[in-house]
Amino acid sequence: MLTQTTLPKQVKIVEVGPRDGLQNEKENVPAEVKIELINRLSSAGFRNIEAASFVSPKWVPQMATSAEVMAGIERRAGVIYSALTPNMQGFDAALAAGAGEVVIFGSASEAFSQKNINCSIAESVARFEGVAKAARDHGLRLRGSISCAFGCPYQGEVPLDTVADVVARMRDLGCDEIDIADTIGVATPRKTQLVMQRASQEFAIGGLSGHFHDTYGQALANIYASLEVGIAIFHSSVTGLGGCPYAKGATGNVATEDVLYMMAGLGIDTGIDLDIVVDAGQFISQFLGRKGASRAGNAIAAKRAG
């Protein structure tokens, strides 16, 4: 017998391509190209764009132009431009750059925490306390991102209780939103539901987001599985740009065009114009000199070309 599941009527899509996507490009992407990409994306209707990352330029050289990018973009009313801030040095830079939301990023895996931010989970939370307080004092939104919530490239399995524990720590820091991230794209739909349901015991489900990389081709299925358990915020990257510098072999985020196409088919409102996103995808793919990874984006572009 078919069971009827009620899905959210509306979702928020956070475009992370300019940060999560481009941070992993080997070739330097000049600030003006990032600015043009972000402007094209904001004109498509995203309410939240992850535009910058104030981390060590020795660790992630591609993000070294973040201040220049934040200074050069057109600020569209109603759009929140987010920036990653691992510590107070990052926070100060994000504040000066006019970020509307700062992102503290921890991990549900001890091993990944060491590789990515050079400290343990507990140490990272202690570092984030200052950032969280500063965000509150300055009236900025605070988002917490939890890497390797479904599996880790170094330690393998990540226990549900550990994910829940990091969600609780992020909640206690005062996060407005918490990302449950599949950094290496290993999750499958049933596992996704288990993790999301466990996370929602620690933090209101309306503030949880799904951040899926598409390494094993499961990201869209995982988003659908997340919708079924009530998640209504998702991260995606135009043309599926990206990967993670500290997760070898991991591919980009789920492609924004594919997510928008699926949401439209499900009758779920995103407020985003897919055609403009396809154009933005063509723009960055042309710059990078390769075909984009979005199936829907490529199909729409091919149809247009006749």
Contact, 14 vs 234, CB < 8 A? yes
Nearest residue (CB) to ligand HMG, 42 versus 53: 53
Q: How many CB atoms lie within 10 A of CB 36?
A: 17
- b/e 198-226 (16+ beta carbons within 10 angstroms → b): bbbebbebebbbbbbbbbeebbbebbebb
Nearest residue (CB) to ligand HMG, 109 versus 298: 109
Instruction: Specify the length of the chain in residues.
Output: 306
Site for ligand HMG in 25-54 (CB under 6 A): 53-54
- Residues touching ligand HMG, count (CB under 6 A): 26
Nearest residue (CB) to ligand HMG, 66 versus 298: 66
Site for ligand HMG in 155-214 (CB under 6 A): 181, 183, 211, 213
Facing residues of 141 across strands? 101
118: contact with ligand HMG by CB under 6 A: yes
* Dist CA 20 CA 156 (whole Å): 22
* Dist CA 159 CA 147 (whole Å): 13
Residues 6+ apart with CB under 8 A from 235: 13, 14, 15, 16, 20, 50, 179, 181, 209, 210, 211, 212, 253, 254
Exactly one of 20, 179, 182, 258 binds Mg ion (CB under 5 A); that residue is 20
Binding site partner of 239, from Mg ion, ligand HMG, none, Cβ cut-off 5-8 A by kind: none
Q: C-beta of 6: minimal distance to ligand HMG in Å?
A: 28
15: contact with Mg ion by CB under 5 A: no
Binding part of the chain for Mg ion, among 16-24, 100-108, 134-142, 273-281 by CB under 5 A, reads 16-24
* Dist CA 151 CA 109 (whole Å): 8
Binding site partner of 105, from ligand HMG, Mg ion, none, Cβ cut-off 5-8 A by kind: ligand HMG
Exactly one of 60, 67, 221, 268 binds ligand HMG (CB under 6 A); that residue is 60
99: contact with ligand HMG by CB under 6 A: no
Nearest residue (CB) to ligand HMG, 20 versus 258: 20
What ranges make up the beta strands (E) of 194-232?
Answer: 208-212
Question: 230: burial class by Cβ within 10 Å (0-12, 13-18, 19+)?
Answer: middle
151: contact with ligand HMG by CB under 6 A: no
Q: C-beta of 149: minimal distance to ligand HMG in Å?
A: 8
66: contact with ligand HMG by CB under 6 A: no
Q: C-beta of 181: minimal distance to ligand HMG in Å?
A: 4
* Dist CA 259 CA 263 (whole Å): 6
Contact, 112 vs 148, CB < 8 A? yes
Residue 231-250 contact track with ligand HMG, rule CB under 6 A, x = bound: -------------xxx----
Q: Is 244 a catalytic residue?
A: yes
Q: C-beta of 123: minimal distance to ligand HMG in Å?
A: 10
* Dist CA 142 CA 130 (whole Å): 12
**Catalytic machinery residues:** 244
Instruction: Tell me which residues touch ligand HMG (CB under 6 A).
Output: 20, 23, 53-56, 59-60, 84, 86-87, 89-90, 105, 116-118, 145, 147, 181, 183, 211, 213, 244-246
Interface with Mg ion (CB under 5 A): 20
